[in-house]
Chains A and B, each alone.
Chain A
Amino acid sequence: MADRSAAIAGLGMTDLGKVYGRTAAQFAGDAVRLAVADAGLELGDVDGLLTSAGVSGGVGLALQRDLGLRDLRLLSEMQSYGSTAGQMVQYASLAIGAGMAETVACVFADAPLRQDTSTGAAYGARGAVGWRGLLGAAGIRDTNSMYALAAQRHMDTYGTTNDQLGHIAVGQRAWAELNPRAQMRTPMTLEDYHASRWIVEPFHLLDCCLVSNGGIAVVVTSAERAASLARPPVHVLGWGQAHPGHAQRRHEDFGLVSGAARSGPAALAMAGLTVSDVDVVELYDCYTFTVVITLEDYGFCPKGEGGRFVADGTLGPDGKLKVNTGGGQLSSSYMWGMTPLSEAVLQARGEAGRRQVPEHDVVLVSGNGGVLDHHSTLVLSPHGPAGRSSS
C-alpha cells in the first residue's frame, strides 16, 4: 500500500507580540506566504486552506482571495478555540491521506492588542446580555476567573500549591531566555512569581498567558512530496481529539480531568508509542495550571501528582522533561494552538537554535480550548511512520 501519510513541510511566523498597524487578516496572509516560501513552494501549489480566527476575528474564507489561491479543493474556517491548530493539521492530514488535497495551508492569526488599550481589555467582557451577560454580572467576567475556579478545585482536591505552579512559570521563562522570538526574556525567580500581583486567586499575573498580535501558518503535504522540498519534513505520526461535553452538575470532574486523558493516549497509540518515548513536550499553557492537568492526563505522572512532578526539577532547560521549550504562551507569545505547534516543528527539525533539545525524535503537542472543553494532540517526528530509527 502506498504511504499516504502526511508531513509538515513549511512553517511561517510573523513578528509576534506588541506588533501594531496590521489586521489579523494581514497577519494571516503574511504567515501563509512565509510558510509556503519556507517549504520551497509557491502559492499556486496550495490546493487546500484551513483558517482559524482569534478574538479579533477577521480571518476566514476571504483569505483565499487575499492570497490569490485558485481552484482550491479544500477550504474552511475552523473553530474549536485553543485546540483548533492541532485539529487543522489532523483534517489536512486526513484530506491528504484520502487524496482529496495535496498541499494544505493551516493558519491562525489574531490582533487583539491596540496601542491605546490595556492587554486585559483586549480579552474583556463584551456586552451584558442573556446568559453570558448574567455570568459577567455575577463577577465571572473572563476566562481567567473560570480557569482559576478549575485550578482551585485541583488544589483543594490534590494539594497542588502556588509554589508548584510557580515552578512552571519559572521553568518556561528560562526556556524563553533562549528564544529570540519570545516576548518575555528577562530572568524570573520563584520570588518574582510570588510577588506578581493577584489576578484571580489562585492565579498571579505570572500564571497567565500573554496577549499577542501576529500570525502563524503551517503547510501540510504528503510525506512523499515533503521529502523533496526545502525543509526537513516533520511527520505527523499520530493524533487525537477529545471534547468531554461536561455537564454542569454533581459528580462532574471539572478542574480534575481534561480531554487530554483520552486524546493523548489515542494519539500515542496511533503512532505506536507511549509517553516514555516522548522526547519533547509542547503543551498548551494558557495558564500554569493547564500544564499540570495536561501532564497528568497524558500520563507523565499519576493523577493528582502534577504539582509535585513539576516542582521536582522536571522543567526548564536543565530539567528531566523538555516542556514548552520556546517559553510557551506564558513567556513567548499567545498564538493559541499555534504556539506549541510552531515550537514543536522547530524542535522536530532541529532548528531551535540555543534551545534545541538534542534528542527530538518524538515531539508531543497539545491544544486546549474553552475551559478545558476541547483538546487536540499531535505526535510529530523527523522520521516517517515506516521506520523511526532511520529517516
Chain B
Amino acid sequence: MTVGPVRRDEATAAFFDGTARGELLLFRCPAGHFSPPYSQQCDTCASVDLTAVAASGGASVVSRSVAHRRGGHRDILVVAELDEGPWWWSKVIDVEPEQVVAGARLTVVVERADEESEAVPVFRLA
C-alpha cells in the first residue's frame, strides 16, 4: 500500500476536497504570501484574509529519511519545500533512496489507500 487510510474531519474537509481533484491546497493572503493549509492566519504577515489556491506541485527536498518497516519494506520520507515557500512532510514514491538527496526536485501527486479513504499528497521525482 502506497499510503495509509485517513478520514476527514471538520478542519480538513476543504483540503481533502482539493486532494480529491488532485490538488494540494495552500492559503494565499492579499499580499501574496503562501501559508500551509492548516493555518489560521498568514504565517508571514498574520492576515486572516486567506484564499485557498492549488500549489503548482513543484518542490525541492529539504531533508530526507528512510523508514524501515516490518517485512523489509522501506518508506522514503521527506520534508519538501513547495515552490510557493511552505514545507510539506510526506513520502516519495517509485524511487530509490539514493535518488532522494537534499535539493532534489519533486512533483506532487495524490494517492489513496482505498475507495473509502481520502486522497493523500505524496511526491515523485520530477
Residues of A within 8 A of B (CB): 128-131, 133-141, 144-146, 148-153, 156, 197-203, 247-250, 252, 254-255
Given known pairs A137-B5, A149-B64, A153-B63, the reply for A131 and B90 (CB within 8 Å) is no
The A-contacting residues of B in range 91-126, CB under 8 angstroms, are 91, 97, 101-102, 113, 117-118, 120-122
A116–B89 CA distance with the chains assembled, in angstroms = 32
The residue from B3, B63, B68, B81 contacting A198, defined by CB atoms under 8 A apart:
B68
Q: Mark B1-38, 1 if CB is under 8 A from A, else 0.
A: 00111111101100000000000000000000001101
A137–B36 CA distance with the chains assembled, in angstroms = 18
The answer to whether the Cβ of B86 comes within 8 Å of any Cβ in the partner chain is: yes
Given known pairs A139-B75, A145-B65, A248-B86, the reply for A130 and B3 (CB within 8 Å) is no
Given known pairs A128-B7, A134-B12, A156-B102, the reply for A139 and B90 (CB within 8 Å) is yes
Q: Is the CB of B85 within 8 A of A250?
A: yes
A133–B68 CA distance with the chains assembled, in angstroms = 20
Q: Is the CB of B113 within 8 A of A152?
A: no
The 6 closest A-B pairs by CB, nearest first: A153-B63, A148-B65, A137-B4, A137-B6, A139-B91, A201-B66
The answer to whether the Cβ of B54 comes within 8 Å of any Cβ in the partner chain is: no
The answer to whether the Cβ of B67 comes within 8 Å of any Cβ in the partner chain is: yes
A201–B101 CA distance with the chains assembled, in angstroms = 13
On chain B, the residues within 8 Å of A203 by CB distance are 65
Q: Is the CB of B65 within 8 A of A202?
A: yes
Q: Is the CB of B4 within 8 A of A136?
A: yes
Q: Which residue of A lies closest to B68 (CB)?
A: A198
Given known pairs A134-B120, A152-B63, the reply for A140 and B4 (CB within 8 Å) is no
Given known pairs A128-B4, A129-B6, the reply for A138 and B91 (CB within 8 Å) is yes
Q: Is the CB of A255 within 8 A of B87?
A: no
Q: How many residues of B contact A (CB 8 A)?
A: 41
A146–B78 CA distance with the chains assembled, in angstroms = 9
User: Could you write out 14 A-B pairs with CB less than 8 Å apart?
Assistant: A128-B4, A134-B118, A135-B89, A137-B4, A139-B75, A139-B77, A139-B91, A146-B89, A148-B67, A149-B77, A153-B63, A200-B77, A249-B86, A250-B87
Q: Chain B's interface: helix, strand, loop or mixed, by majority?
A: strand
User: How far, in Å, is B9 (CB) from chain A's closest CB?
Assistant: 4
A199–B3 CA distance with the chains assembled, in angstroms = 19
User: How far, in Å, is A120 (CB) from chain B's closest CB?
Assistant: 10
Given known pairs A152-B63, A156-B102, A250-B85, the reply for A137 and B68 (CB within 8 Å) is no
On chain A, the residues within 8 Å of B65 by CB distance are 145, 148-149, 151-152, 200-203
A149–B81 CA distance with the chains assembled, in angstroms = 13
The residue from A151, A153, A200, A252 contacting B66, defined by CB atoms under 8 A apart:
A200
On chain A, the residues within 8 Å of B88 by CB distance are 248
Q: Which residue of A lies closest to B103 (CB)?
A: A156
On chain A, the residues within 8 Å of B75 by CB distance are 139
Q: Is the CB of A138 within 8 A of B67?
A: no
The residue from B9, B91, B97 contacting A129, defined by CB atoms under 8 A apart:
B9
A133–B6 CA distance with the chains assembled, in angstroms = 6
The answer to whether the Cβ of B62 comes within 8 Å of any Cβ in the partner chain is: yes
Q: Is the CB of A138 within 8 A of B122?
A: yes
Q: Is the CB of B63 within 8 A of A255?
A: yes
On chain A, the residues within 8 Å of B118 by CB distance are 134
